[in-house]
Structure 1
Amino acid sequence: MADNMLLQVEGLSFAYPDCGVFAHWSMALPAGLALVRGDESSGKTTLLRLLAGELRPQAGQITLQGQSASGAPQAYAQQVFWADPRSGELDPLTARGWLGSLPARYPLWDAAALATHTEGFTLQEHLDKPFYALSTGSKRKVLMAGALASGAPLTLIDEPVGGLDKPSVAYLARALTQVAAKPGRVVVVAHYEALPGVPWGTVVDLPG
Structure 2
Amino acid sequence: MSEPLLTLENLSCERDGRTLFSGVHYTCNRGTLLQIVGFNGAGKTTLLHTLAGLLPASSGTVLWRGQPANRQRQAFYQELLYLGHQVPVKPQLSVRENLLWLGALNTPATEAAIAEALAEVDLAGFEDSPSYALSAGQKRRVLLAQLYLSRATLWILDEPFTAIDKAGVQKLEAAMARHAAKGGVVLFTSHQPLAMAEFSTLDLSAYQTPQEFADA
Normalization by structure 2: what TM-score? Answer: 0.79
Larger C-alpha radius of gyration, 1 or 2? 2
Per the TM alignment, residue 178 of structure 1 is displaced from its structure 2 partner at its CA by 2.1
Give 1:1-208 correspondences, 5 Å limit.
4-32=3-31, 33-86=33-86, 88=88, 90-107=90-107, 114-129=114-129, 131=131, 133-183=133-183, 185-196=184-195, 198-207=196-205
- Could you tell me how far 1:8 is from its partner in structure 2? 0.2
Percent sequence identity is 32
CA deviation map 1:34-77 (0-9, x unaligned): 22223332222111111110111121110112341222233322
Q: Deviations over 1:122-150 (max 9, x none)?
A: 11354444555433322222212203421
Aligned length: 204
- The verdict on how the C-alpha distance between 1:71 and 1:91 changes in structure 2, with shifts beyond 3 A counting, is same
Q: Is the 8 A contact 2:6 2:64 kept in 1?
A: yes
- In 2, the alpha carbon distance for the partners of 1:91 and 1:22 equals 37
Q: Aligned Cα RMSD in Å?
A: 2.8
Secondary structure in structure 1 of the residue aligned to 2:20: strand
Quick one: distance in 2 between partners of 1:94 and 1:110?
15
Cross-structure match for 2:212: none
SS in 1 for 2:70: coil
Point out where structure 2 has 5 or more consecutive residues left out of the alignment.
209-216
Query: Given residue 9 of structure 1, which amino acid in structure 2 is its aligned partner?
Result: L
User: Which consecutive unaligned segments of at least 5 residues does structure 1 have?
Assistant: none
Cα distance, 1:108–1:10 mapped onto 2, change above 3 Å: farther
Partner of 2:152: helix, strand, or coil? coil
The normalised TM-score by structure 1 is 0.82
